[in-house]
Structure 1
């Protein structure tokens, strides 16, 4: 009698423990390895970098270069597959799925938007285009104008007249003045006003009409005045 009672009590405790273990196993959410490939379009092209998001878990992943993906999920998870230019695709893990892994091929459909053809014409006709093209200013127009002006022979001649003498010319003139002083320092200065030969030459010039000859002015026509500068001289020549 005593042995039967002990066996009965042991059976009750063991059965209760097994029943509790079975209930705990049924309530546990087992992780599933979900893997597959994502393709899209009519040609089922591989879609690398496609985004996979689990809304209820707030996490996700992306496909590799060959469109493959692998991630842990739970029964009942809802996954969203998205890719630029394709419609979103939803996939739900079955709640009664009890396997350790699950594989699937996810196909996305193209999300094409057809737009009406739009033709853009900047000009109403070819004549307007030709007119605008001929009047177009080139990017280096100012540089071309400056180059043509600076290489013009008349411009170079005018700048040479205005430039004046250089250092070498001034030195040579000073040396000539010193030499003339040393040569004539022992002689008395003569005044042409009292020189009869100078008067004879002057009278002859008057008779020949040389005083009315103004051809010498042509030599100084392009020479700028002493109280002017380069800019004012150029504006004067241009008539500004």
Structure 2
């Protein structure tokens, strides 16, 4: 009897515990929306990387410096951009609601690179010899052209398994074919002259020979 009471009490109290945990999780999530600007002239900074510190989540501000990211209250956002100092912003845990707007000001920074000395080739003939034998890597257009070659696409198609979309299309085609011939006899390829011609050509090529 006592065991039944414990089970009954657990079933009654469990929905309230789940609801309380769900509410706590919902309250801790917040969407941060804002704009990144320069501290001196209030000019929008595009392509600023905004990353949640310690996590592999982030976003990038658009051409107007506008960004939006979902995080937890108490997380720290790291702002990085080329030519600007890194800025960390900790989201206050005491914020109310699930949305917050902000303006992140960033200060320009000067980066000093190591000295680079450029020297010419000793002679013109040496330059011509090295220039002719230079191995120039493919650019993006050449890589894209090679990746779209018919032979390479066929090789990839034969080795890559069918995805969910392809499996769905095959299933729909089979169902459509079954519904199309409902109530009648489906045609047989044994009476199809095209199928016979393909069979004879395959026989001549030796496609049906037993592989040793």
Instruction: Indicate whether the TM-score tops 0.5.
Output: no
The two structures have a TM-score, normalised by structure 2, of: 0.42
The two structures have a TM-score, normalised by structure 1, of: 0.37
